[in-house]
Structure 1
Amino acid sequence: MTNRYFMNITGKVKACARRMAGLSDKQLQTVTNDLKSQLKSGRTLDQILPEAYAAICEADRRVLGKYPYDNQIYGAVAMHHGCLVEMNTGEGKTLTATMPLYLHALTGKSTILVTANEYLAYRDAAQMRPVFSFMGLTERAGVTRQPGQALTNDEKRKNYSADILYTTHGALAFDYLLNNLVRRAEDRFLRDFYFIIIDEADSVLLDGAQMPLVISGSPRVQSNLYEMTDFFVSTLKEDRDYLTEDKAVWLTDHGVAYAERFFGISDYYDHRNFEINRHVTLALRAHVLLKRQEDYLVSDQDEIVLLDNDTGRSLPGMKLRGGEHQALEQKEHVPLTQEQRSVASITYQNLFLMFPKMCGMSGTISNARQELLSVYHKRVVVVPPHKKLRRVDRKDRYFVTAQEQFKAAIEETLKCHRKGQPVLIVTATIQDTQIFSHMLVERSVPHSVLNADNAYWEAEIIAAAGMRNAVTVSTGMAGRGTDIKLEEGVAGLGGLAVIGIGRMENLRLERQARGRSGRQGDPGSSQFFVSLEDDIVMTMYSEKAGEYLDRSRPIAPWKLRHLINSAQKTREEQSISTREQAVRYDKILRRQREILYGARNRLLDRAQIDRETMWGIINDALTSFVKSHPDLQEHELTRYVLDNLSYELDPEILTPPKDPNELLRRMQQYATKLYDRKISTFDQQEQAQDYMRQCILRALDDGWVEEVDYLQQLQYAITTRGTAQRNPVFEYSREAYHSFEDMKETMKKNISRNFFLGDPETDANGQMNIIFP
């Protein structure tokens, strides 16, 4: 679809708008049912789009007092066709979304808008609900006013059954995983995915996509390797035994040989030594990559408290996954907490790729158009602003030291403040907000400080940043999604002045900061103050920056600019690489997840299990046992029968014949007798079916938990194999295939065991409860 096509459809919407404007409220409200009837009679969404968009635009005017501009209609048309739309801050993305949401809700299928935090989802749902209600559609928020407040399955079912749902990407992802962990069909609450709009799309699809979302469950048996591997790592020397690059660390060939001698093993990368490999990797990461006071701190209660890398704030109660938290605790010699299994996992990439129709909008998405096209197969469309941009984006100012940088920034802030011009200082880190706030206090300048700590009250403060004399210090993410409107008379003072401190991790974040100013044609300005001591420069080019910072070598202005800007470019390239790797790893897990979740849903939907199917599973389990015991002893056979077939021993089966074929035949006969006996205990066939479904479901879930947990651990351990002339993703894929095959064999054994040894009881309500072995 071309831009000219989108403009053509926009013209058709405006042509329909004239007819809609002449309808009474009652006549306008009947349009919804009329459009639904047209869809049922065979018309497509493309065919009814002009009329549908015109109807909801008119409803927006009558209910909200706002009629979408041409550029908003243009953006809404592009979103219907699956594009990611860039619209400047203040251009009305929330109103724009009403059009594609209304259109797709007419199908009766799941229609969802996700955004970056609970505040935005709750706010937008509340603001737009009256217009959807006016047009006869139900709309709900999938989050609560109180962050962290849990919703019941019944509440979630009501939310997801609404015509339109506003929620967060995190809530949707975890709901998807939880929906596939339920044990009863009636506990499911999700509808089949259909259409989704992703607000703040770059934040969700890119910035939030580097790590998978993981649900942790039952505790794993605590390993005794943490202390030993921690000591081992403490004896290693960098460059000789291990190497580091960005956020990766691995053993050299010398380090691998040393590990084999230290642990008394012959092949460090052998599957049998996986736990040693994993724990060494965890200990290496804890000692080399994670820095105290930067990534975490140790509380007065001897607990590891993580620090948010974006905002710098503490994250009490949160833990690193996959045993990394325990490795960190061992490093700091504090009591080890219980390591948890990962029971379900998904990345945002694979979550949103499940939707048949997906689109999004953001103020700063065009910089990542190539990555979005390659990962999500989505085109980025830039929507021109309704009014010409009047903001003045001044050239960046470059400094060698942070002291010079902050001094220049405070002088510029005071210059604006003296004439009453509002100032928004946007910093790259929480530490910088604290430093700058202290400098303002010393100069007796009243101000607000926002650190992306509470999206609800921060939105109220950031909205007031356009008042005369206002000075607001904020991290880049604080108050995102909230417009800053200028107080009367402020435009004459130059509008909002945005002062950025520190080179940020990518250009999109800096564009977001600049975009706080100059909304809807308002005047404003922006300027960044950067230095060699910015976090990103010191992280990417610490050695080079250090040479100039010690003043032994002067640095030319062009070289200063090149070094600082290159740090940002390199970091963004590494972030893209990390996201691509996350996609590859989760793509492998996705195939397994689809198979398992599909099987679960068939069982929950009461799939019929015939005797042939169940007997095939039992026979595979028996065959596997016989093959794995070529010289079977009587005590081994007795143990197998008691653990897998019957708590009552039958003398006929206890003496194993020498011929394995004869042994298998006898066990099959014995199992057939036990099978018939078990089935005969049920009064009705459907009871037997329900029993078998629960036996299979229990085995599937137990096996899947182990598989997800193993693959999570494998991702940590596999990184070291790149130094052994092996491709980590290929190695991961190969290991994942073998573990999946092993999981299937284990599931068959457990299904058979559950069937023979399970003890079903029916309660007063007719509900079957099973005590599994």
Structure 2
Amino acid sequence: MISPLFPIHSVSASRVASGTANAVSRILQEATHLRDSDASEMKLHAARLRLEIGRSGRPLNSLAACFALTYEVIRQQRNLELHPCQISGGLIVARGGVAEMATGEGKTLTSVQAAALWGLAGRGMHVVTSNDYLAQRDATELAPIYAALGLSVGCITKHSTPEQRRKAYRCDITYATAAEVGFDFLRDRMTLGASQSSTSGRRHHIPSADQTSTGLLQRPLFAALIDEADSVLIDDARTPLVIGSETEQTRADRSLFRWCAKRVATLQIDRDFSLLPANRQALLTTAGMQRLLLGGAPRFSAGLTSEDLLTTAERMLEAIHFYRRDKHYTIEKRKIILLDESTDRPLPGRKLQAGLHHCLEAREGLPITAGSKTACQISVQSLFRMYDHLGGMTGTGRDAASEFRRIYDMRVSAVPTHRPSQRSRFPPRVFHNAAARDYAVISATLKQLQAGRAILIGTPSVAASLRVSRALEEAGISHSVLNALQEAEEAKIIAAAGQPGRVTIATNIAGRGTDIRLSDDVQEAGGLHVILTEMNPSARVDRQLIGRCARQGDPGSYQFLLSLDDELLQRLSPQQRSVLKQRSLPLINGELPCRWLNLFRRIQREQEQRDTRNRTDMLKVESQRRDTCRRMGLCPYLETIE
């Protein structure tokens, strides 16, 4: 018998997450008994496990046996043995927790263990990924491992037809994004709402019936494993998944939006309106209202009231001052495409509510699209709270540990890295304005290039990435840009980012999913150097970008280069920003003392606290609404009552 790579009787507690050492040792011990098993014997073992889990209804009772079997299948197929830290991470996820694992520690194979366990229950295991590319990649690459365990695998993307979706959901394991799972849930709610009488009641779980005969897409929500759990369950928690029905946009409506786009441009801040950046809210003053109402009506104003005009004007001010092109949205084929603020990924088909989307169209001089009436909606937060079993993985979970516990009843456990970290932190620097900071970015980039290293420059938005790109072009520095406009090239650009002399500018889209592998020359020169040109509203997003360097014991370093023009500081009022600028004027060469970093950290911390409160408040409101609807025998997700 071949001896295992790791000692099986005493796995060091320092190499695994707290409380998992004994279980890891047992799994490695059981795996040795499967070493001489061939493929048919392994599948027979899996069939017995499936039968055992089906009879008991308790997959966790078979956890050690399933993990040992999965371990051996991976060893035989991939010619590698899972590290104790990977087994430990799988245990955390399978038990309903969040495993915090550093970038490059093998989260993909870690997830297979938990997915296989819950997949053997035969009730549908959903593995939720960041985007369609990762869903397709993982479903395809991992299919042979699952097949060896007798498990079927499906994948759903935005291009999947209804029949393809039904087939994928009937599989033991289904890969998809949160949006696809959520929208399919809503489509089933609409199907049930149309076919059931209001007196029969509407349950949030899908009835156990044949999907084809009922016209439903999904089975009842059973188990889900969330990759990048903090991004999905925390950052996107408030994101509404909405299915709307078009409403006719009248000539008066279109005229009103275009009229407001022109008229509010003449208004002055403080005199005519005030801004509340923290809430993205604009409020007209009495003077502003008078100026608008006395300035003439839109060309086609029949049926419009003064309240319509003033409300739309405030929405237009919000669109102008709080929604920026290439930060919050982009334009494709003369249509507004929203961007995810956490990942910078495009969100085709999504629309801002309360007229904001039409305000953006009018502001950009685009055709005013049809109105939309909400037919069915649910938040990401509410969707995943409905699963019977929920687990997740991320590189940055500890900062949100209390929220994971309070909202989802999930404990966050840190998994030690397989090798000691060699990440170095360069002193942060703060500058008076963006121009001075960009000059520092160029200088730092040239210095690291001369050392033979690869450089990743992180930016918070498409607009910021394009600005830094122009600065590098003017300095004659060859580089690649990865943002929402190049989403299709993401994996290719990231895969090449670890080569000598490579400079890559990336938005938050680069923080998830694909590893940066270093060439030998770059490793010897000091590894990947990450430059963060701004702080994000969440420290977790910064940590994700920092985590791109020094993976799996490689050398690497990072540095913050910030300025008072950064987007994080736009959350301050204009008066506060003006005071900051004045206080920084007497300082020399555009660079400020390092104590100014405390300002950025304070604003970031306040924004995180505000976001947490907003998510908690939204959950309370949604819970009250659902309870009310159910007491009335109504579906809480349908907006209309038949």
TM-score (norm 2): 0.82
Distance 1:89 1:400 in 2: 33
Distance 1:322 1:440 in 2: 40
Q: 1:43 to 1:318 in 2, by over 3 A?
A: closer
* Uncovered stretches (5+) of structure 2, i.e. residues with no partner: 1-15, 196-212, 295-303
- Checking the alignment, whether the CA contact within 8 Å between 1:350 and 1:590 is kept in structure 2 is no
Q: Is it true that 1:162 corresponds to 2:171 in the alignment? A: yes
Distance 1:297 1:104 in 2: 38
Q: How big is the shift at 1:236?
A: 8.4
Question: Which position in structure 2 is the counterpart of 1:265?
Answer: none
Q: How big is the shift at 1:134?
A: 1.3
Question: Which position in structure 1 is the counterpart of 2:440?
Answer: 408
Distance 2:471 2:564 in 1: 20
SS at match of 1:23: coil
Question: Which position in structure 1 is the counterpart of 2:276?
Answer: 245
Distance 1:157 1:495 in 2: 46
Question: Which position in structure 1 is the counterpart of 2:514?
Answer: 482
The one of 386, 396, 416 equivalent to 1:364 is 396
The one of 53, 67, 76 equivalent to 2:67 is 53
Question: Which position in structure 2 is the counterpart of 1:762?
Answer: none
* Structure 1 segment 182-221 matched on structure 2, within 5 A: 182=191, 185-219=213-247
The one of 20, 24, 30 equivalent to 1:6 is 20
Q: How big is the shift at 1:416?
A: 1.3
Distance 1:403 1:301 in 2: 32
Distance 2:382 2:76 in 1: 39
- Checking the alignment, whether the CA contact within 8 Å between 1:296 and 1:304 is kept in structure 2 is no
The one-letter code of the counterpart of 1:374 is R
The one of 32, 38, 43 equivalent to 1:29 is 43
Distance 1:300 1:153 in 2: 26
The one-letter code of the counterpart of 2:375 is V
Q: Is it true that 1:448 corresponds to 2:484 in the alignment? A: no
- Checking the alignment, whether the CA contact within 8 Å between 1:452 and 1:478 is kept in structure 2 is no
Question: Which position in structure 1 is the counterpart of 2:599?
Answer: 563
* Uncovered stretches (5+) of structure 1, i.e. residues with no partner: 263-273, 601-699, 709-742, 748-773
Question: Which position in structure 2 is the counterpart of 1:179?
Answer: 188
The one of 349, 352, 360 equivalent to 1:320 is 352
CA deviation map 1:645-666 (0-9, x unaligned): xxxxxxxxxxxxxxxxxxxxxx
Task: Indicate the percent of aligned positions where both proteins have the same amino acid.
Answer: 31
Q: 1:275 to 1:346 in 2, by over 3 A?
A: farther
The one of 510, 523, 542 equivalent to 1:510 is 542
Q: 1:194 to 1:283 in 2, by over 3 A?
A: same
| Count of aligned pairs | 589
SS at match of 1:204: helix
Question: Which position in structure 2 is the counterpart of 1:584?
Answer: 620
Q: How big is the shift at 1:318?
A: 5.5
Q: How big is the shift at 1:487?
A: 1.1
Distance 1:416 1:440 in 2: 14
- Checking the alignment, whether the CA contact within 8 Å between 1:64 and 1:131 is kept in structure 2 is no
Distance 1:255 1:442 in 2: 46
Q: How big is the shift at 1:138?
A: 0.5
Distance 2:311 2:612 in 1: 23
CA deviation map 1:645-699 (0-9, x unaligned): xxxxxxxxxxxxxxxxxxxxxxxxxxxxxxxxxxxxxxxxxxxxxxxxxxxxxxx
Question: Which position in structure 2 is the counterpart of 1:690?
Answer: none
The one-letter code of the counterpart of 1:62 is Q
Instruction: Specify which structure has the bigger relative contact order, considering alpha-carbon pairs within 8 angstroms and separated by 6 or more residues.
Output: 2
Q: How big is the shift at 1:26?
A: 2.2
SS at match of 1:355: coil
Which segment drifts farther, 293-302 or 398-407?
293-302
Question: Which position in structure 1 is the counterpart of 2:495?
Answer: 463
- Checking the alignment, whether the CA contact within 8 Å between 1:114 and 1:168 is kept in structure 2 is yes
SS at match of 2:457: strand
Distance 1:127 1:199 in 2: 16
Question: Which position in structure 2 is the counterpart of 1:91?
Answer: 105
Q: How big is the shift at 1:240?
A: 7.7
SS at match of 1:391: strand
SS at match of 1:579: helix
- Checking the alignment, whether the CA contact within 8 Å between 2:74 and 2:80 is kept in structure 1 is yes
- Checking the alignment, whether the CA contact within 8 Å between 1:215 and 1:344 is kept in structure 2 is yes
- Checking the alignment, whether the CA contact within 8 Å between 1:117 and 1:455 is kept in structure 2 is no
The one-letter code of the counterpart of 2:107 is K
The one of 119, 127, 131 equivalent to 1:113 is 127
- Checking the alignment, whether the CA contact within 8 Å between 2:428 and 2:560 is kept in structure 1 is yes
Q: How big is the shift at 1:394?
A: 2.1
Q: Is it true that 1:128 corresponds to 2:142 in the alignment? A: yes
TM-score (norm 1): 0.69
Q: How big is the shift at 1:129?
A: 0.5
Distance 1:222 1:50 in 2: 63
Q: Is it true that 1:539 corresponds to 2:555 in the alignment? A: no
CA deviation map 1:554-575 (0-9, x unaligned): 3672552222222222222232
The one of 491, 499, 503 equivalent to 2:523 is 491
| Structure number with larger C-alpha Rg | 1
CA deviation map 1:523-561 (0-9, x unaligned): 111111111111111332543343343577536725522
- Checking the alignment, whether the CA contact within 8 Å between 1:111 and 1:164 is kept in structure 2 is yes
Distance 1:311 1:380 in 2: 22
